[in-house]
């Protein structure tokens, strides 16, 4: 089948939210909510916690494990307290959903989400810097997930509201979000097969040295000296995963450099870690050695290009989003030209 190419510039369709309310679990004033479930054939032989994660997708697996441990889950009239217990097709059960900050986080909240493209299967959004993607300790509300639940009633039926990959809180740029389970599974598969092309523009300290293009192939894992950050690690001594980034210089002067980064793998903080490892920490990335400069106080990283084959139509899609004003102004302050991207 001949493939066609669709290139879409990130001029947002608008900041969309329909304000639809969804039942996400017990309200703070309620002691609990009991929900009945039927184990589908597709879940036959699965662990209890995995089956519940599919049956009650608006709650995380870790939260469901806590409920199992607390005796809040019964199958065929018998309380099960082991997450590894096996379930069988046709079994009927119930789960008592008890309120916690985590359980109450997965609620719709109207947020200004810039939608670049949407169809029946997926959305492309341009995430602003400062927006957290998933609820987590310290950020139980106001996340992209909360905004997606308000934007689309169908999002409540999908794990993580259809989110298939992340951007760090202070990284701006393009993300793809699924609108159906079939599209979500297909997109996860494309990402795992490295068939989704993700490119970033970054601004870093120090003048660029050497060849214009540099291929960094260095495994990433938890920093053995600081578990709150990631680091390049030796896999013979520490746990981690292979990580590869193509880094290309776009412009450079005495102030610093502008680079284009192409992800070949998708590890946590990959570009930030790899840039720091070659002596070019990102501007304002204090976690990895950068400092605020040129008026920028968030890490200088923007996902400007996203390309993949549409999981339903087979059309080759490409989306482009120019850097936001804060990054453009910082580049101009240092006299850097990023337009070769």
What is the number of residues in the chain? Answer: 341
Domain extents in the chain: 33-104, 197-334
CB-CB contact of 109 with 131 (8 Å): no
Q: What is the pLDDT of residue 103?
A: 59
> Is 126 among the catalytic positions?
no
Q: Classify burial at 264, counting beta carbons within 10 Å of its beta carbon; exposed 0-12, middle 13-18, buried 19 or more.
A: middle
CB-CB contact of 173 with 127 (8 Å): yes
pLDDT tens by residue, 195-219: 999 999 999 999 999 899 999 999 9
Q: Classify burial at 79, counting beta carbons within 10 Å of its beta carbon; exposed 0-12, middle 13-18, buried 19 or more.
A: exposed
> pTM for the complete prediction?
0.74
What CATH fold (topology level) applies to the domain 197-334?
Pseudouridine synthase (3.30.2350)
Q: What is the pLDDT of residue 100?
A: 63
Tokens of 190: 């494309």
Q: What share of the chain is helix, strand, coil (3-state, %, to 5)?
A: 20, 30, 45
What is the DSSP code (8-state) at residue 324? P
Tokens of 36: 């009945």
Q: Where does residue 90 fall: left (phi above 0), alpha (psi -120 to 50 degrees), or beta otherwise?
A: left
Q: Which residue ranges of the chain lie beneath pLDDT 70? A: 1-32, 99-104, 341
Cα distance between residue 288 and residue 275, in whole Å: 9
CB-CB contact of 289 with 304 (8 Å): no
Please give the full DSSP string across 189-246, using - where no structure is assigned: HHHHTT-SEEEEEEEEES---S-SEEEEE--EEEETTEEEEEEE--TTTS--B--EEE
Cα distance between residue 95 and residue 75, in whole Å: 9
Cα distance between residue 8 and residue 294, in whole Å: 30
| Residue 157 neighbours by CB under 8 Å, 6+ apart | 57, 181
pLDDT tens by residue, 287-302: 999 999 999 999 999 9
Which residue is it, tokens 């008592």?
Answer: 96
Q: What is the CATH number of domain 33-104?
A: 3.10.290.10
What is the DSSP code (8-state) at residue 169? T
> What's the whole-number average pLDDT of the chain?
88
Helix axes 61-69, 48-55, angle to 10 degrees: 120
Catalytic option among 49, 152, 168, 285: 168
């Amino acid at each position: 089948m001949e493939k066609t190419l669709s290139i879409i510039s990130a001029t947002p369709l608008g900041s969309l939210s329909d304000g639809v309310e969804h039942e996400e679990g017990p309200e703070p004033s309620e002691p609990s909510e009991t929900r009945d479930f039927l184990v589908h054939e597709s879940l036959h032989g699965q662990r209890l916690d995995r089956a519940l994660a599919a049956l009650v997708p608006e709650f995380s697996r870790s939260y469901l494990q806590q409920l199992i441990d607390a005796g809040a889950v019964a199958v065929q009239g018998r309380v099960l307290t082991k997450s590894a217990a096996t379930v069988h097709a046709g079994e009927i059960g119930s789960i008592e959903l008890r309120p916690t900050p985590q359980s109450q986080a997965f609620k719709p909240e109207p947020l200004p989400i810039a939608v670049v493209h949407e169809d029946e299967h997926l959305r492309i959004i341009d995430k602003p810097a400062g927006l957290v993607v998933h609820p987590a300790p310290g950020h139980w509300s106001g996340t992209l997930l909360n905004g997606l639940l308000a934007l689309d009633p169908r999002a409540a039926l999908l794990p993580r509201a259809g989110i298939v990959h992340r951007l760090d809180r202070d990284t701006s740029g393009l993300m793809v979000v699924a609108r159906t389970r079939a599209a979500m599974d297909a997109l996860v598969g494309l990402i795992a097969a490295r068939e989704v092309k993700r490119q970033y523009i970054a601004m870093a300290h120090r003048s660029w040295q050497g060849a214009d293009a540099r291929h960094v192939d260095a495994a990433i894992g938890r920093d053995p000296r600081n578990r709150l950050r990631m680091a390049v690690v030796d896999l013979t001594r520490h746990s981690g995963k292979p990580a590869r980034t193509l880094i290309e210089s776009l412009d450079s002067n005495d102030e610093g450099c502008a680079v284009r980064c192409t992800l070949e793998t998708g590890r946590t903080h990959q570009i930030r870690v790899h840039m720091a490892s070659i002596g070019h920490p990102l501007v304002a990335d204090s976690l990895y050695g950068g400092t605020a400069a040129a008026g920028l106080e968030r890490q200088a990283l923007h996902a400007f290009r996203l390309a993949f084959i549409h999981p339903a139509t087979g059309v080759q899609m490409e989306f482009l989003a120019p850097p936001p004003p804060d990054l453009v102004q910082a580049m101009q302050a240092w006299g850097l030209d990023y337009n070769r991207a």
